[in-house]
Amino acid sequence: MTTPKPQLIAILGATKGMGRALARAAAGRGAKLCLLGRDGDELARSAADLQVRAAAAGHAGPPPSTILCDLEDPLSHAPALLAAEAALGGLDVVVVTAGAFATAAAFDADLGLAGHVLHLDFTCTILFCEAARLRLLERGGGQLVVFGSVAGDRGRKPVGIYGAAKAGLHHYLESLDHRFAAAGLRVLTVKPGFVRTGMTAGLPEPPFAGEPDAVAARVLRAMDRGASVVYAPPIWALVMLVIRWLPRAVMRRVGF
């Protein structure tokens, strides 16, 4: 029996939160990873951690390669992806989990912070995705996996600015899927609800909060079946279906 070829995956944002959980899950099932990020020390620590975990799962080998790439610097995107492809010996999947978050109260107090989050989560993320889709299409296709948020599904009081960035990102990703699916590009938009990571530490925890490892497993399953959208934890698909259909008069009265 022929041994299946391991997936070749480049991940931007694998040193923290959901990116770290997804990288661990992918390494645990034998994927060959390249980690992209702006902090060389964090990348090295994450690569060593993944090597140990992969070995424990029976996938012994060298640590994942690491490439410096700053989401906020679009000039770093294309060279980093080209370097990742060279390090991996190919490129099947590009994952984007990097981004920024802040509360509505923080944005109210600091419009500069609002500008930063909008720029990073919308403009910079889309520019990275553009570099990734060009790289993947040049190879004949592949999969682009990008973390959005349930915050982008409906205008809501607590997540107006952050949600606006994610809504715009969702719109772009759907358009990308429509435009390039026939050329072999598969686009997966991940819409997490509240997940217990460093990004949400100290925030009031709503119902249906998820754990990073469970969310990562769900995302991998969605990648395997070629899904276009996945909510995680899965209950959020139903929650947001209801929220999208609530009348505006109701949304004005609720705090959700």
- What integer pLDDT is reported at residue 59 of this predicted model? 74
- Least Cα distance to 10 among 90, 70, 103 occurs for 90
Q: Is 90 helix (H, G, I), strand (E, B) or coil?
A: coil
- The pLDDT mean for the chain works out to 90
> Going from the N-terminus, what domains does the chain have, and what CATH number goes with each?
8-253 (3.40.50.720)
Return the exposure string of 95-133: e unless at least 16 CB atoms fall within 10 Å of the residue's CB, then b: bbbbbbbbbbeebeeeeebbeebbebbbebbbbbbebbb
How confident is residue 22, by pLDDT bands cut at 50, 70 and 90? Answer: very high
Note the pTM of the prediction, 2 decimals. 0.92
Q: Strand locations in the chain, DSSP E?
A: 8-12, 32-37, 65-68, 93-96, 142-147, 185-192, 229-232
- What integer pLDDT is reported at residue 197 of this predicted model? 62
* Res. 70: pLDDT tops 90: yes
* Res. 85: pLDDT tops 90: yes
Q: Return the percentage of the chain with pLDDT > 90, whole number.
A: 70
Burial of 62 (0-12, 13-18, 19+ CB in 10 A): exposed
- What integer pLDDT is reported at residue 39 of this predicted model? 94
- What integer pLDDT is reported at residue 1 of this predicted model? 44
* Res. 221: pLDDT tops 90: yes
Q: What is the pLDDT of residues 124-181, one digit of tens each?
A: 999 999 999 999 999 999 999 999 999 999 998 888 899 999 999 999 999 999 999 9
